[in-house]
Structure 1
Amino acid sequence: MSFDGVPFDAVPFDAVLLAGGRARRLGGADKPAAPVGGRALIEWVAAAASGAFRTVVVGPPRDVLPDAVRVREDPPGAGPVPALRAGLAEVRAPWTVLLAADLPFLRPVHVAALLDAAAGRAGAVLVDGGGREQWLAGCWRTARLRGALGSYTGASLRGVLGPLDPAKVALPAGERPPWYDCDTPEDLARAEGLARPDAL
């Protein structure tokens, strides 16, 4: 596959990983640093976007991803829209891959599929097995994203991203769906059980 005739490894994108939040359902634990399959969740997500020119992590300091650009939303814990604004301020590439930091089964091929679907559009968003948009798994034209954020006064990602009319990308699920996120201790335990070394 290619993106507008350009090989994927040459597509100019930066990755913004939203890695803040309060993780209430995990008792306030640092969810992005939680281990699955021997790596922190955020490391899996960064690896999925390994083709990025730069990786921007929005969240508190951690002893992982030392080469990433690190920023905080203002105030910390204010939500995904302020976090996106903080991360986008550090983006230099014409495309932005926006990802949650708790997707242990997202892989580079999934990011490539999003970029492929976004060609000729404002962006593309992953949809889950029920057809629901996963707003923290998508890619966007940086200029369009900045324009949308500039005029947006709401608090939901759906509110700012939905009007951009992104392509919706449905991918095969298998037993490790790329949209699987880890919000609870049970989610983490299930992800660990699915993260067999021969499948990673």
Structure 2
Amino acid sequence: MTENKRTNDPEGVRRRIIDAAYDAFITQGYLATGMLELRERASVSGGAMAHHFPAKRDLGLAVIRDRVAEAVRQTWIAPLHTSADVPAAIDLIFENIINELMHNGRVSGCPLNNMAMDVSHHDSEMREVVSAVFGAWHEALSAKFARDAEEKHASELNPHSLATLVIAAYSGAMAMAKARQDVSPLIDCRMELAALLAAKYRLR
């Protein structure tokens, strides 16, 4: 049946491999996960695995491009486009993340941070792809802050540095939440970012 799936639905097999790899890389780490384990997780043959991903780094790159980048887009970038301003977007994003983690009963960490920590020192191409995802995230936040500054006549806002602060604060809070298996750091971060941004937005 596995071979039939591979023959009849190669794109479905590829997605299944990437889905299995994404879950494994995020929960236990890229370096700690072997290709044999991923074959078993995805229920594919060695031939199917080799056809789609001849090397582990090929799979790692696909996971970053297809799944990690999409997770950042859905979690962070999309809400920025639909919210009134950055503070409203950030509060909604944190609320959604905290609620999801509490529902799941575990904290696996930020997919982008997890991959960055694992691969950045080992592979220059993977480092560049991870950096590009961070760049897209930072650019989306900066652009929204810039629009807010223009619309609210808040020239004191520094879009670039505020975007850096938000990403760094969230990333650190998520790392702490993962280490503790407790969402409290994210709750604290949400509250303090809201207070900080409210103060900055009042200074106009």
TM-score bin, normalised by smaller chain: under 0.3
Q: TM-score, normalised by structure 2?
A: 0.27
TM-score relative to the length of structure 1: 0.27
